[in-house]
């Protein structure tokens, strides 16, 4: 635990102490530190309201000023159960029942005592710069069948400037929230009538998706992939063979009965790709085989964790599977990593966090194959020059993986790209190829997604750019705005010419002030506005204005069309 983590964990205890002072009837759940701060979950009959945060913050300031020592001591389990039982702390009792050993650790500050293994600061007086940031609901143990608790989030820093910088990022993040911008820019929606966690792409969002998909397909064909497509459902037996029913069933939906046989909606595309592989006898001359699909999958996510585009129940993976020989494995992984970096750079992402996830407790295959797969990923990362951290036990059940988390413009990390080496599914499906010696051999399988899911990647793009997409991605490239009705016919000629050249153009010929028309285009975050008045009409030119109020000056109609087409074609990020 870092010093900052210790500070934040200590601050969560101070917050819990303040809550208990103000609301004695509240029951305590858990209060850990997290990446950007801390939270504490409370069981309170009436919901917290924003004004409560102000009261809790003020009480926390008092506790800090009182400078209580954080004192650790142990109790044997029997005494601890009696102690917490008298207080009615049922969530703590549930935690104790799962702890090993004969004694448990408590921390005390002033009148407040909490079940905790620590560590903490020396005293509450060491906490200087903190802020409570939000209230949310959270199911106990993340289980929607359990109690709904109330979670208070906060953060803490050792320096005031660090706290202020973080709070500024929080405010900017609120402005960039993809759910807010999704509504304002008419990009997508989620409907309770249609089902939670299912995304409805609107025309403006769908045209961005088309640009992403076109680029994705173009680059995959350039990089030696073939495109395939598979059905959305498959017989239950397929998921038994793959191991999903054994290791992944809690994330799958219930079977569907079709003609007396059970089918299941797919949570992953890999078994379908394997079935295509097995339609022919493969030779070493055929390998590596690289097959890619924009495949829609469905996974059960608890309602409490659904979040806009970032956490959904139905999504499209930019999926691919590579089947190769052992001697090709390292080169193929390097090739995939370089492909990931190319794709991400094109969308404006050049900073990453990289994690190598190793064998979990529940896995298929042999430890020896897991070691080989993990070693191949390590060597590939090192040869490409990517720094990485080990994430112990976080591999998927069939193999180790590399996750590349992209950093957005606010320096937040988002999990998108993943590369997984799999010795196990090829063995379970009895996949073969004929090697150079004429004998059957099992291929190695690489699972990979460059963007992850289109839904999450789109959400990240919205927040990264704050809805101000580069020209090639923008749902509308240019708005044509007339100053008076006299310019409408001239403007219509430009409109048709630009549409014919492939530009996405919107016209505003309404009888309104030009300032209002510009403001409307700015609100919709249109990258360019062509303002056409009497001077432009008489000279056969256009006045080009860039979003944000930057005048680009006058251009001939053909001159600026050439500039715009080149900017789109090059996928410029400027």
Active-site positions?
A: 270, 299, 317, 319, 321, 401, 447
Residue 407, strand partner residues: 413
- ∠ Cα 7 393 341 (to 5°): 85
Q: Report helix angle 454-465 to 203-222, nearest 10.
A: 110
> For residue 433, what are the contacts with CB-CB under 8 A and spacing of at least 6?
282, 283, 284, 286, 287, 323, 325, 440, 441, 442, 443
Q: Which token pair is 496?
A: 């048709």
Q: What is the 3-state secondary structure (H, E, C) of 391-424?
A: ECCCCECCECEEEEEEECCCCCEEEEEEEEEECH
CA–CA dist 468, 465 (Å, integer)? 5
Spatial distance between the Cα atoms of 259 and 187, rounded to a whole number of angstroms: 40
Question: CA 106, CA 87: separation in Å to the nearest integer?
Answer: 14
Neighbours of 172 (CB within 10 A): 13
Q: Can you read off the two tokens belonging to residue 547?
A: 């979003």
Phi, psi of 166 (to 5 degrees): -65, -45
- Distance between CA 80 and CA 115 in Å, rounded? 9
**Torsion sign (Cα): 112, 117, 122, 125:** negative
Cα 271 from Cα 302, distance rounded (Å): 25
Nearest one of 364, 371, 277 to 324, comparing CA atoms: 277
Q: How many CB atoms lie within 10 A of CB 75?
A: 18
10 Å CB burial of residue 6 (0-12, 13-18, 19+) is middle
Return the DSSP state at 305: G
Query: Do 406 and 346 contact (CB within 8 A), yes or no?
Result: no
Largest Cα–Cα separation, the chain: 92
Torsion on CA atoms 330, 332, 336, 342, rounded to nearest 10: 100
Long-range contacts of 219-227 (CB under 8 A, 24+ apart): 219/339, 219/342, 219/343, 220/292, 220/320, 223/290, 223/335, 223/339, 224/290, 225/290, 225/291, 225/292, 225/320, 226/289, 226/290, 226/291, 226/292, 227/291, 227/292, 227/293
H runs (alpha helix) in 413-556: 424-428, 454-465, 488-500, 514-523, 534-539
φ/ψ of 311, rounded to 5, equals -140, 110
């Amino acid at each position: 635990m870092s010093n900052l983590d210790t500070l934040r964990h200590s601050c969560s205890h101070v917050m819990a102490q303040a809550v208990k002072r103000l609301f004695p009837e509240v029951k305590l759940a858990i209060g850990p530190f997290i990446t950007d701060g801390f939270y504490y979950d409370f069981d309170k009959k009436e919901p917290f309201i924003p004004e409560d945060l102000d009261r809790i913050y003020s009480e926390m300031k008092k506790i800090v000023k009182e400078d209580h020592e954080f004192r650790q001591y142990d109790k044997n389990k029997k005494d601890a159960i009696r102690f917490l039982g008298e207080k009615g702390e049922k969530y703590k009792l549930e935690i104790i029942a799962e702890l090993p050993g004969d004694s448990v650790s408590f921390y005390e500050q002033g009148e407040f005592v909490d079940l905790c293994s620590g560590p903490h600061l020396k005293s509450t007086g060491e906490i200087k710069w903190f802020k409570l940031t939000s209230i949310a609901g959270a199911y106990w143990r993340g289980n929607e069948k359990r109690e709904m608790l109330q979670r208070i989030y906060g953060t803490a820093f050792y320096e005031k400037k660090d706290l202020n910088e973080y709070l500024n990022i929080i405010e900017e993040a609120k402005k960039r929230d993809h759910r807010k911008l999704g509504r304002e820019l008419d990009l997508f929606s989620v409907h309770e009538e249609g089902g939670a966690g299912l995304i409805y792409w609107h025309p403006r969002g769908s045209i961005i998706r088309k640009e992403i998909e076109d680029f994705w397909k173009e680059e995959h064909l350039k990089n030696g992939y073939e495109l395939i497509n598979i059905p959305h459902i498959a017989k239950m037996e397929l998921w038994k063979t793959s191991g999903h029913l054994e290791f992944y069933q809690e994330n799958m939906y219930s079977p569907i009965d079709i003609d007396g046989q059970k089918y299941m909606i797919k949570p992953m595309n890999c078994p379908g790709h394997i079935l295509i592989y097995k339609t022919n006898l493969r030779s070493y001359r055929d390998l590596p085989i690289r097959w890619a699909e924009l495949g829609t999958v469905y996974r059960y996510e608890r309602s409490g964790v659904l979040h806009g585009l970032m956490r959904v129940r139905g999504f499209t993976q930019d999926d691919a599977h590579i089947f190769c020989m052992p001697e090709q494995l390292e080169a193929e992984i390097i090739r995939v990593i370089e492909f990931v970096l190319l794709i991400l750079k094109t969308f404006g992402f050049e900073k990453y966090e990289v994690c190598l996830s190793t064998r979990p407790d529940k896995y298929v295959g042999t430890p020896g194959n897991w070691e080989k797969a993990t070693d191949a990923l390590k060597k590939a990362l090192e040869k490409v020059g990517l720094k990485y951290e080990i994430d112990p036990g976080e591999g998927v059940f069939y193999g180790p993986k590399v996750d590349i988390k992209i950093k957005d413009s606010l320096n937040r990390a988002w999990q998108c790209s993943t590369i997984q080496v799999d010795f196990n599914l090829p063995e379970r499906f009895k996949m073969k190829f004929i090697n150079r010696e004429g004998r059957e051999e099992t291929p190695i399988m690489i699972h990979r997604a460059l963007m992850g899911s289109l839904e999450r990647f789109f959400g990240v793009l919205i927040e990264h750019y704050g809805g101000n997409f580069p020209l090639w991605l923008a749902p509308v490239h240019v708005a044509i705005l007339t100053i008076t009705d006299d310019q409408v016919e001239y403007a219509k000629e430009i409109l048709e010419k630009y549409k014919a050249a492939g530009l996405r153009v919107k016209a505003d010929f309404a009888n309104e002030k030009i300032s209002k028309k510009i403001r409307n285009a700015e609100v919709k975050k249109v990258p360019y506005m062509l303002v056409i008045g009497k001077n432009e009409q008489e000279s056969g030119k256009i006045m080009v204005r860039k979003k944000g109020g930057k005048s680009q000056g006058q251009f001939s109609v053909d001159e600026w069309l050439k500039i715009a087409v080149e900017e789109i074609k090059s996928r410029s990020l400027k």
